């Protein structure tokens, strides 16, 4: 049986930048084991499978896999799959759509040239001091405020902390073996770190995300990681309702992308970005 797929680069308008996601457009009939094998074969940070919705009001259902496991939700796969579904005619372009996934119903919006998603409500917990020290050692970095380290659950569960400078963040060379062990120990999907640019810069933050326990040493441009950063910054008072900024991610892996972040008046985090189809083909499975 043949199934059409496309590869979409998310958080960029330029092919071969941003973060690629493989989108299987007609996934009905595939079992979980086959989906996982396909995700391992594409070997991208995520592969998605578009299925008919089973929840009222949803335009479609999306299942999201890393090379090693299924995720309840992820950012760049959600936006890339929305782009693919509209571009291939699976759904009609509308101002607002609903995606069904394991994390629930995700609200999506389509602006001219940009897609948006409302992040699931974040749940925050504080790792103990020993775990914080072990994490800093594995990263080879010191956090600006170790006490502010949080495990932010937005579907994926990110350990989030701030570094002192963009230069320090970009020069990091983590010990991925130790980092993967710590992620498993703490029940984390990965680690997302951020640092601010100087005042007046059009880009406000640089971000890096690592998830070696899931087979992704460094995720090029991570929507859920940026959403977790925004949730942390809103929660500690560094962002107010109505705030909007641009974050950059992916320089260190040659896939630089731009992430738009917005806090609405209710305190919900919205993640936005451009997308471009880079490849399409047929799977014989």
Do 239 and 157 fall within a single domain? yes
Please report, rounded to a whole number, the percentage of residues in the chain having pLDDT higher than 90: 98
Q: Are residues 146 and 65 in the same domain?
A: no
Same domain, 263 and 143: yes
Structurally, how many domains does the chain consist of?
Answer: 2
Q: What is the CATH number of the domain that holds 171?
A: 3.10.310.10
pLDDT, position 236:
95
Write down the pLDDT at residue 64: 98
Q: Give mean pLDDT, residues 9-30.
A: 97
Share of the chain above pLDDT 70, in %: 100
Domain that holds residue 203: 123-267
Domain co-membership, 114 together with 245: no
pTM (predicted TM-score): 0.96
* Residues with a known catalytic role: 46
Please report how many Cα atoms fall inside a 13 Å half-sphere around the Cα of residue 79, on the Cβ side: 33
CA angle 216, 222, 225 (to 5 degrees): 100
Please report the pLDDT score of residue 169 as a whole number: 98
**Residue 11 and residue 65 in one domain:** yes
Indicate whether 127 and 263 sit together in one domain: yes
Contact 252, 218 (CB under 8 A): yes
Mean residue pLDDT of the chain comes to 97
Give the model confidence (pLDDT) of 237-258 as tens digits.
Answer: 999 999 999 999 999 999 999 9
89 with 65, same domain: the answer is yes
Shared domain check, 250 and 160: yes
Residues 149 and 62 in one domain: no
Distance CA 75, CA 247 (A): 14
Q: Are residues 230 and 104 in the same domain?
A: no
**Alpha carbon distance 132, 119 (integer Å):** 26
Whether 180 and 138 map to the same domain: the answer is yes
Report residue 71: phi and psi, to 5°: -105, 145
Shared domain for 278 and 235, answered yes or no, is: no
Tell me what pLDDT residue 3 has. 97
């Amino acid at each position: 049986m043949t199934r059409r797929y496309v590869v979409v680069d998310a958080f960029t308008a330029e092919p071969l930048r941003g973060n690629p996601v493989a989108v299987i457009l007609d996934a009905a009939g595939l079992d979980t084991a086959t989906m996982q094998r396909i995700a391992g074969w594409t070997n991208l940070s995520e592969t998605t499978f578009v299925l008919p919705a089973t929840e009222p009001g949803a335009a479609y259902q999306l299942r999201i896999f890393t090379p090693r496991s299924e995720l309840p939700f992820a950012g760049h796969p959600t936006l890339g799959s929305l782009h693919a579904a509209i571009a291939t005619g699976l759904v009609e372009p509308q101002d607002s759509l609903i995606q069904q996934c394991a994390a629930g119903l995700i609200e999506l919006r389509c602006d001219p040239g940009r897609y948006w998603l409302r992040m699931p409500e974040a749940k925050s917990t504080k790792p103990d001091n020993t775990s914080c020290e072990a994490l800093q050692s594995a990263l080879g970095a010191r956090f600006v405020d170790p006490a502010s380290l949080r495990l932010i659950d937005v579907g994926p569960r990110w350990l989030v902390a701030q570094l002192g400078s963009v230069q320090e963040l970009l020069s990091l060379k983590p010990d991925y073996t130790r980092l993967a062990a710590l992620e498993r120990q703490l029940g984390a999907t990965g680690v997302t770190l951020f640092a601010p640019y100087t005042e007046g810069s059009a880009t406000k933050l640089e971000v890096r995300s690592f998830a070696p326990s899931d087979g992704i040493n460094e995720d090029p441009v991570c929507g859920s990681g940026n959403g977790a950063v925004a949730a942390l910054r809103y929660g500690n008072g560094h962002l107010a309702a109505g705030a909007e900024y641009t974050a950059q991610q992916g320089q260190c892996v040659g896939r630089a992308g731009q992430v738009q972040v917005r806090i609405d008046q209710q305190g919900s985090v919205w993640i936005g970005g451009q997308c471009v189809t880079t490849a399409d083909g047929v799977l014989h499975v």
